[in-house]
């Protein structure tokens, strides 16, 4: 895994500064390429072909490549290229990608199975082509002001180019969802290259064009097959995708939570390779602790298992000293703390590549909020003229807020927005948000609903499929994959996502919805595959998720952090958060996520702005 930077002018000092900010993404090597019209930089974490032959930037005829990622099927593509007369001096996937682009142009991405973000400079046509993988496993940001075009793997590198103002729309997204979604970043004018997109920049005319090259929705063609046939085929495509992630010249481990997805990945790998190393983080607070289940799975498959219990003092240390070094824009997912720690433990155990089983929830209907939202929405639809209730709630809110019910104000805000909903998309959006209309108390405008087209497509199949597509295009790339990429990279190890192999994703679209969720059972078909590897008592249990005991911790030692950071702010109005904090200190129930998001924002701002 690596880091890349570049821009359309020559400035050697800036290039070095930008690379230095992301050196941990590639501590094994550094390289640059520059002329009067282009500067490209690369830092390398050596995973395939550990020799100097894998050095980047890599040149071939008129093309120069810098690349972050792994192409797992590079050997097959290499054999195909050799038939066309191409020869190779390395055993790296980088050289295969470079020559595949030389042969097929942008169409080469149709052949790639992997995770990638790359920039390719065409000297003959004076163009830069950026590309990001289908799901967005690998990050890539860019900025263009009509003159300067600058890009990098992480925002911290772009800040060496100049200081950007905060994007208030992006900040509102963060306070609503806990992450910044779609193509925005926290900095005004700086954008993410969306997953499954090309960006082409013409160096002569200074014109930028974007192109989408893949869509999940295109594969929703339900196959007429028996359940047993689908189980067989799904196991086959899962096994192939998971085995591809073992392509490496260094040791590989697996993050094991004991849930369905990580247990399946671990079990398949253990069957085919044996002696795999699994890693788990647990908590002393038992209702958050999945380590017990992970240990049972590890014992059953006989993996080499490492368990670590995270306590409040270590979590506090990570939050204060590491969290905002890891995440260079506001990031509200508190599970980033244990994800960082389990990555560090893997590194300490000599592992340079780890597999993280993300994506199963979005592909196979795993989150509890899907069926909870669906049943709530069905009840809402039975209420005639439900928008009248929203107006009544708004009028009565001052009185109702005094009722001694846990988190009453947040629940009233939720009900008010829910009763105003006209569609499944609005219902789901209301359920996802933390700050809603009360965001106006911060001086921000609540963000509009996102990914309506994808939701509408999925809703034709089932409302829960719409929710799954919403998460596939929003929550997955902007929260889950950001978390894993940054937490692994800061430890200079590579995180791989086997369940997000494009063939697995595309096959999941051919499975009817009633095989994903059946009779109250989530991930029905995935669990049927897992039954071939684990006893049922290790499979059929309540889903826990990978969170931390935030409320319990903030009631004690971490509460002082709020006091430390809840000072005046020139971007948001702090009166409302301080009122929430006062209620919290008085022992009243409040939505602790609202306090957490403000804390995260303030800590980030102190470090980066």
Catalytic residues: 2
Q: Give the whole-angstrom CA distance, residue 540 versus residue 536.
A: 6
Which of 527, 481, 530, 499 is CA-nearest to residue 194?
481
Q: Return the HEC string of 335-373.
A: CHHHHHHHHHHHHHCCCCEEECCCCHHHHHCCCHHHHHH
Give me the residue label for tokens 């990001």.
132
Using left for φ > 0, alpha for ψ between -120 and 50, and beta otherwise, residue 131 falls in beta
Strands lying side by side in the sheet with 127-132: 58-60, 63-71, 114-122, 127-132, 197-202, 207-212
Contact by Cβ (8 Å): 4, 42: yes
Q: Is 160 helix (H, G, I), strand (E, B) or coil?
A: coil
Q: Give the whole-angstrom CA distance, residue 132 versus residue 36.
A: 26
Q: Give the whole-angstrom CA distance, residue 574 versus residue 369.
A: 31
Q: Give the whole-angstrom CA distance, residue 448 versus residue 426.
A: 10
CA contacts within 13 A on the Cβ side of 98: 27
* Token digits of residue 262: 């990580």
Q: Give the whole-angstrom CA distance, residue 149 versus residue 379.
A: 51
CA distances from 504 to 244, 376, 500, 511 (A): 12, 31, 7, 11
Ordered alpha helix ranges (H), 60-146: 74-83, 93-104
**Strand locations in 427-512, DSSP E?**
494-496
């Amino acid at each position: 895994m690596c880091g890349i930077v570049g821009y359309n002018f020559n400035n050697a000092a800036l290039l070095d500064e930008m690379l230095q900010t992301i050196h941990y993404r590639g501590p094994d090597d550094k390289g640059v390429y520059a002329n009067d019209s282009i500067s490209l930089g690369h830092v390398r974490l050596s995973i395939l072909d550990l020799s100097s032959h894998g050095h980047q930037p890599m040149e071939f005829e008129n093309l120069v490549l810098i690349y972050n990622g792994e192409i797992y099927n590079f050997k097959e593509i290499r054999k195909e290229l050799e038939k066309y007369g191409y020869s190779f001096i390395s055993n790296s996937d980088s050289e295969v990608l470079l020559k595949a682009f030389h042969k097929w142009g942008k169409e080469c991405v149709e052949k790639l199975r992997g995770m990638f973000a790359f920039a390719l400079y065409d000297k003959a046509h004076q163009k830069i082509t950026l590309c990001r993988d289908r799901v967005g496993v690998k990050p890539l940001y860019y900025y263009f002001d009509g003159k300067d075009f600058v890009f990098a793997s992480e925002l911290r590198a772009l800040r060496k180019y100049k200081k950007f103002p905060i994007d208030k729309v992006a900040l509102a997204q963060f306070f609503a969802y806990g992450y910044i979604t779609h193509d925005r970043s926290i900095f005004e004018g700086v954008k993410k290259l969306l997953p499954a997109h090309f960006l082409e920049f013409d160096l002569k005319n200074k014109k930028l064009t974007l192109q989408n090259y893949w869509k999940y929705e295109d594969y929703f063609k339900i196959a007429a097959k028996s359940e047993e046939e689908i189980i067989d085929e799904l196991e086959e495509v899962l096994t192939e995708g998971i085995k591809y992630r073992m392509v490496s010249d260094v040791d590989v481990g697996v993050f094991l939570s004991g849930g369905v997805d990580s247990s399946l990945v671990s079990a398949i790998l253990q069957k085919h390779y044996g002696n795999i190393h699994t890693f788990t983080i647990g908590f002393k607070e038992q209702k958050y602790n999945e380590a017990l289940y992970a240990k049972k799975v590890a014992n059953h498959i006989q993996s080499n298992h490492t368990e670590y219990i995270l306590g409040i003092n270590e979590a506090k240390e990570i939050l204060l000293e590491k969290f905002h070094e890891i995440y260079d824009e506001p990031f509200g997912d508190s599970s980033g703390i244990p994800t960082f720690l389990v990555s560090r433990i893997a590194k300490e155990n000599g592992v340079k590549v780890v597999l993280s089983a993300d994506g199963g929830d979005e592909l196979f209907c795993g989150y509890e909020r899907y069926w909870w939202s669906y049943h709530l929405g069905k009840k809402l639809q039975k209420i005639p003229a439900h928008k009248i209730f929203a107006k009544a709630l708004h009028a009565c809110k001052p009185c109702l807020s005094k009722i001694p019910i846990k988190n009453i104000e947040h629940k009233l805000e939720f009900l008010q927005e829910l009763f105003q909903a006209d569609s499944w998309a609005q219902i789901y959006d209301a359920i996802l948000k933390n700050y809603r209309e009360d965001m106006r108390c911060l001086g921000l405008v609540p963000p509009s609903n996102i990914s309506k087209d994808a939701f509408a497509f999925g809703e034709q199949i089932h409302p829960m499929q719409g929710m799954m597509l919403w998460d596939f295009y929003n929550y997955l790339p902007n929260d889950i994959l950001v978390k894993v990429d940054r937490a692994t990279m800061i430890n200079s190890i590579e995180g791989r996502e086997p369940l997000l192999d494009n063939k697995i994703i595309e096959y999941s679209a051919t499975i009817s919805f009633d095989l994903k969720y059946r009779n109250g059972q989530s991930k029905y078909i995935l669990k049927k595959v897992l039954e071939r590897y684990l006893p049922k008592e290790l499979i059929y249990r309540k889903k826990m998720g990978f969170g931390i005991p935030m409320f319990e911790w903030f009631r004690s030692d971490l509460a002082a952090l709020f006091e430390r950071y809840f000072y005046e702010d020139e971007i948001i109005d702090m009166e409302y958060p301080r009122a929430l904090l006062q209620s919290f200190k008085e022992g009243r129930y409040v939505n602790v996520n609202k306090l957490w998001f403000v804390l995260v924002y303030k800590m980030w701002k102190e470090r980066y702005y």
